[in-house]
Amino acid sequence: MKDLNNVIEVDHVSKIYNLYDKPIDRVKEALFSQHSRHKEFAALNDVNFYVKKGEILGIIGKNGSGKSTILKIITNVLTPTKGRVEVDGKIAALLELGAGFNQEYTGIENIYLNGQMIGFTKEEMDEKLNDIIEFADIGEHIYQPVKTYSSGMFARLAFSVAISVDPDILIVDEALSVGDIFFQNKCYRRFEEFRDQGKTILFVTHDMGSVVRYCNRCVLLNQGEKVAEGTPREMVDLYKKIMVGQWDKEKEKNKALIETKNVEPESHKLWKDELIINPSIEVYGDGRAEIIDFGIFSSGGDLGNNVYKGDHYEIRMKVKINEDHLSPIFAWKLRDIKGAELTGTNTMLENIDTSDLKKGDVVTVSFTQKEYLQPGQYLLSLGCTGYEGDSLHVFCRNYNCCVLGVVADKGTIGYFDSESKVNIQVETGE
């Protein structure tokens, strides 16, 4: 270790795979080595970072960015093509839950098998057995072969074994979302116990709220390369730009962060092209008005699917009017993943007069509000409707068009944050 405070050092690590068009090409290349028949693919390219003792380091990036590869190298599942990794301390890694389980063994037998693989004696596993069984909470199934388990039971047992070993370093790769909501709550409580004990944690997830809430520092990977590292909020902001194609590698290669704010998309691009759109979006209506574009903008003017709790943000839609005398009502609404309506508004409720709009007009409607919802993901719907007498007509609706993600470093109880201010006064009995 170059720095005694570091428990993990990743030094110029690359992982190269040889890709062959056909399996026989591998054999031909081995027999006739002067002819290369493969293409090289860099899953990781010259990646550097460190993890200090007691630190919670997040690693984020799109699918295929190299997150799982670097974790497998750190845990010696894979060997780097170039570079080195040094680790100081005992690791418990939750990479692929259930790796190393024997399908023919019972749950109890697999607990001892995994303990032996980690390096514990039978006597040490005897002491841990009851805690593992209690945490997994799968009842009498613990005595049955794991091949008879449901996927949920299998995941619960695998997580319980991995989390019960008192490591110096805990590595978690998207493993806190196994089982039902009650078991997930237990997993997060155990994760927080590790944090409160000052354990070192390497945390890989797509849940940006958890990154901001738990991590001290964050590393952002993209296409096998380290883009930047910094505070969780800085890296989440940069990650959002990468997700919607607003990050220019050549322009930003010598910068840790994008500093330009309020950058509008190029004139030929649509806002919605920069968002992650629901592939099952429902668009319907009689066509007398048409929603031709929409976007979600942060308080800093950044276009993307995520906003911070407590910040102001803007929902913007662009609508083409195809008929005179419509007096359209423009609306937005947020639902949870179960479909429950949580919040929203429209121009009629806000007392906005739209009666002067004419055929051929293209109107941009902006709704700006403060985000009070809890961290999580919500479904955004947009609409343009109007009344003829007492009848409501739908001109155009984009139902569940995209996800709006709320990111925060603190959550409270329920759907929204009441922004409570806490004051405690103590009167001593002296």
pLDDT band at 245 (very low <50, low <70, confident <90, very high): low
Choice between 100 and 132, residue whose per-residue pLDDT is larger: 132
pLDDT band at 114 (very low <50, low <70, confident <90, very high): confident
> Residue type for 362, please?
V
Q: What is the pLDDT of residue 222?
A: 92
Q: Domains of the chain: which residue ranges?
A: 6-238, 271-407
Q: What is the pLDDT of residue 1?
A: 63
Task: Assess whether pLDDT exceeds 80 at residue 197.
Answer: yes
Q: What is the pLDDT of residue 186?
A: 75
Domain 271-407 has CATH 2.40.10.10: no
Q: What is the pLDDT of residue 140?
A: 93
Residue 206, phi-psi category: left (phi > 0), alpha (psi -120 to 50), beta (remainder): alpha
| Sequence-ordered list of residues with C-beta below 8 angstroms from that of 249, at least 6 positions apart, any chain | none
Task: Assess whether pLDDT exceeds 70 at residue 268.
Answer: no
Choice between 81 and 416, residue whose per-residue pLDDT is larger: 81
- Cα Rg, the chain, nearest whole Å: 26
Q: Across the chain, what does the average pLDDT equal? A: 84
H runs (alpha helix) in 76-173 = 107-118, 122-136, 151-163
Return the C-alpha torsion angle 153, 140, 132, 177, nearest 10.
Answer: 20
Task: Assess whether pLDDT exceeds 90 at residue 353.
Answer: yes
Half-sphere exposure (Cβ direction) of 47: Cα atoms closer than 13 Å: 33
Lowest mean pLDDT among 58-62, 75-79, 256-260, 373-377: 256-260
Q: Report percent pLDDT > 90 for the chain.
A: 43
Q: What is the pLDDT of residue 130?
A: 92
Using CA atoms, how far residue 79 sits from 6, 86, 420, in Å, is 21, 12, 50
Q: Report percent pLDDT > 70 for the chain.
A: 87
pLDDT band at 266 (very low <50, low <70, confident <90, very high): very low
Highest-pLDDT range among 114-123, 211-220, 381-390: 381-390
The CATH number fitting domain 6-238, selected from 1.10.1040.10, 3.40.50.2000, 3.90.79.10, 3.40.50.300: 3.40.50.300
Tens of pLDDT, residues 284-303: 899 999 999 999 999 888 89
Q: Say how far apart CA 321 and CA 312 lie, in whole Å.
A: 29
Tens of pLDDT, residues 35-73: 677 788 899 999 999 999 989 999 999 888 999 899 999
Tens of pLDDT, residues 160-174: 887 777 788 888 876
Q: Which residues pair with 385 in a beta bridge?
A: 329, 394
6-238 and 271-407 share one fold: no
Task: Assess whether pLDDT exceeds 50 at residue 254.
Answer: no
pTM confidence score:
0.62
Q: What is the pLDDT of residue 18?
A: 82
Lowest mean pLDDT among 95-99, 111-115, 214-218: 95-99
Tens of pLDDT, residues 379-429: 999 999 999 888 889 999 999 999 999 988 777 787 788 888 888 889 887
Q: What is the pLDDT of residue 179?
A: 60
Compute the average pLDDT of residues 320-343: 91
Six-digit token string for 11: 């030094």
Q: What is the pLDDT of residue 33?
A: 63
Task: Assess whether pLDDT exceeds 80 at residue 256.
Answer: no
pLDDT band at 177 (very low <50, low <70, confident <90, very high): low
Q: What is the pLDDT of residue 295?
A: 96
Provide the sign of the torsion angle of the four alpha carbons 152, 158, 161, 162, taken in this order.
Answer: negative
Six-digit token string for 426: 């103590």
Q: Are strands 282-284 and 225-230 parallel, antiparallel or unpaired?
A: unpaired
Highest-pLDDT range among 168-172, 319-323, 333-337: 319-323
Lowest mean pLDDT among 38-47, 263-272, 319-328, 397-406: 263-272
